[in-house]
């Protein structure tokens, strides 16, 4: 089992258009949560100032820009992130893109996005894929790890087969997390979702969660509840 502190298991998704609001959430939560995700919306709104502010407070950052471009462009983009003490970055892509991203490995971990959690089997059919989501996740994960990625982003539903088939020596970061035990979880625009406890039992190392915390009447209480779920998942795994 990886030695990851409980306050780094949750990666809080800073899905806000206003950098000031994002900063307020960092200050509100970082007594309990030490890992934050900066996605495309917030990065375009605040650029490096947002990332630097999080890091300067002693926290970790996952920059989730899902690079997918010609290999040299991806390579240069990854170089920029490496200068900012970013902990995780995300990429899409085929062999040349992945090879370009991992060409100059540093302390920053590079995660390959497998299949977005907003996709399900109907989306696969519409896009012309004949296999299942699970099959495509495994194919993409296997290739990414062979080429040097440090881990993958996948839903909790695929975390278990990923561990069964590919082992434990890589990171699994799981979005689509909704709080709650022994009840149906609310899906909104995410189609492949699970609770934090189930994600950890299935093999996830980190869970990415935003709206269930940011829309809660008691955000810190919700964080603590999710961390309790994670702790139970670790005990059961």
Q: What is the pLDDT of residue 136?
A: 84
Cα–Cα distance between 48 and 55 in angstroms, integer?
A: 11
Q: What is the pLDDT of residue 180?
A: 65
Taking the chain (237 residues) in runs of 10, the rounded mean pLDDT of each run is 90 96 97 97 93 97 94 93 92 92 90 74 63 82 95 91 94 86 45 80 95 94 95 91
Q: What is the pLDDT of residue 104?
A: 79
Q: What is the pLDDT of residue 117?
A: 59
Structure tokens at 96: 């040349």
Residues in the chain: 237
Residues that are catalytic: 66
Closest CA to 181 of 172, 194, 192, 200: 194
Strands 35-39, 109-113: parallel, antiparallel or unpaired by DSSP?
Answer: unpaired
Q: What are phi and psi of 209, to 5 degrees?
A: -145, 135
Q: What is the pLDDT of residue 49?
A: 94
Q: What is the pLDDT of residue 181?
A: 43
CATH fold, domain 6-236, is TIM Barrel (3.20.20)
Torsion of the alpha carbons at 104, 53, 61 and 236, rounded to the nearest 10 = 150
**What residue spans define the domains of the chain?**
6-236
Q: Are 199 and 156 in contact (CB under 8 A)?
A: yes
Cα–Cα distance between 31 and 39 in angstroms, integer?
A: 22
């Amino acid at each position: 089992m990886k030695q990851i502190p409980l306050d780094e298991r949750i990666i809080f998704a800073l899905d806000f258009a206003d950098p000031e609001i994002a900063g307020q959430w960092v200050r509100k939560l970082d007594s309990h949560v030490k890992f934050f995700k900066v996605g495309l919306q917030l990065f375009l709104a605040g650029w490096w100032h947002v990332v630097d502010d999080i890091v300067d407070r002693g926290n970790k950052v996952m920059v989730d820009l899902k690079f997918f471009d010609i290999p040299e462009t991806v390579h240069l983009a990854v170089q920029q992130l490496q200068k900012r003490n970013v902990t995780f970055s995300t990429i899409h892509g085929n062999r040349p893109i992945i090879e370009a991203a991992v060409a100059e490995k540093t302390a920053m971990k590079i995660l390959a996005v497998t299949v977005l959690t907003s996709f399900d089997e109907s989306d696969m059919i519409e896009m012309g894929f004949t296999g299942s989501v699970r099959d495509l996740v495994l194919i993409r994960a296997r290739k990414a790890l062979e080429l040097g990625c440090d881990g993958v982003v996948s839903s909790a539903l695929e975390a278990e087969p990923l561990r069964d088939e590919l082992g434990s020596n890589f990171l699994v970061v799981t979005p689509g997390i909704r709080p709650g035990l022994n009840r149906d979880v609310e899906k909104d625009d995410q189609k492949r979702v699970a609770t934090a406890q189930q994600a950890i039992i299935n093999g996830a190392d980190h869970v990415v969660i935003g709206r269930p915390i940011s829309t809660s009447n008691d955000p810190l209480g919700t964080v603590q509840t999710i961390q309790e779920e994670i702790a139970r998942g670790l005990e059961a795994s």
